[in-house]
Structure 1
Amino acid sequence: MSLPVAATEALEAFTALQGWEQRARLLMQWGERLEPLSEVELGDEQRVQGCESNVWLVADQRDQRWHFRAYSDARLLRGLLALLLVRVEGMPEAELAAIDLTDWFNQLGLGRQLSPSRSNGLNAVLKRMQDLISA
């Protein structure tokens, strides 16, 4: 599975940094890249269940590929969502179903900082993506 261009950029940026503080700063900067969601998209129907923080997810399909947008009210989580989104951007359904989130965040050097609740939340987002594309 090859990485999308933005995911490769993220991997290079994060692995070049030493230490959690630098990565946390970059993570928050990545979170600022998230495209804002409209009031309608911030509704209960788009809210991801299973996250401690509020997370909203919107999906649409163009040219046989899935594109997602997401938002959270938690700053660090916005960064993690941005990194998840660049990893799955434009993936076909079969590849999305096979993605290993733990491996992706470990590659970025962020695996140890993912608390069980953040890990569960990100897995809930991924499961919601899979549910949306198989609906």
Structure 2
Amino acid sequence: MASEAFEEIAETFEFLDDWEDRYRHVIELGREMAPLDEAVKVPATKVEGCASQVWLLPRIEGTGPQAIFDFDGESDAMIVQGLIAILHALYSGLSVTEVLEVDAAAELGRLGLNEHLSAQRSNGLRAMVERIRKLAGEAASA
């Protein structure tokens, strides 16, 4: 159920044989994201469980289960900023119900990230996915 943007990332990963090239691509994806306004980098938007500083700011259009999910995010670490960009590609534009149906572990597994991220980065990625699911769940029941 991956979005077209995520499918493009997956195709690029298949094309790039070397993990150094894949890491460079992840970092480039992160650089393409707009930075967050300093005013929204507050405890309520900070993701706990990440070794790096990570903030996710939801943008939900509509109400209830069919509300459309989107978010902005930022990290102080380049690779984590790239992971935010990948999650953005995976989830943005889906309904909050669809967000809850995404098997993030399986989709991200297609990229081979599990085997190539440190334990701390993997934990941080899981924490970001959990935060996204929590935000979508809250919006779905609103």
Alignment TM-score, normalising by the size of structure 2: 0.86
Check if 1:95 corresponds to 2:98: yes
Partner of 1:11: 10
Detail structure 1 runs of 4+ shifted over 6 Å in the superposition.
none
Where do residues 74-89 of structure 1 align in structure 2 (5 Å cutoff)?
A: 74-89=77-92
Partner of 2:72: 69
Partner of 2:42: 43
Deviations 1:63-92 (A, max 9, x none): 520101111001111111111110011122
Give the letter for the 1:102 counterpart: A
Deviations 1:11-52 (A, max 9, x none): 111111002111011111011011210011112221011111
Deviates more, 1:69-78 or 1:34-43: 34-43
Partner SS, residue 28 of structure 1: helix
- Calculate percent identity across the aligned residue pairs: 34
Partner of 1:31: 30
Shift of 1:106: 2.1
Shift of 1:9: 1.3
Is residue 15–residue 109 contact of structure 1 (8 Å, CA) maintained in 2? no
Would you say how many aligned residue pairs link Structure 1 and Structure 2?
A: 134
Unaligned runs of 5+ in 2: none
Q: Distance in 1 between matches of 2:8 and 2:36?
A: 24
CA RMSD of aligned residues (A): 1.5
Q: Distance in 1 between matches of 2:99 and 2:120?
A: 22
Is residue 100–residue 136 contact of structure 2 (8 Å, CA) maintained in 1? no
Alignment TM-score, normalising by the size of structure 1: 0.90
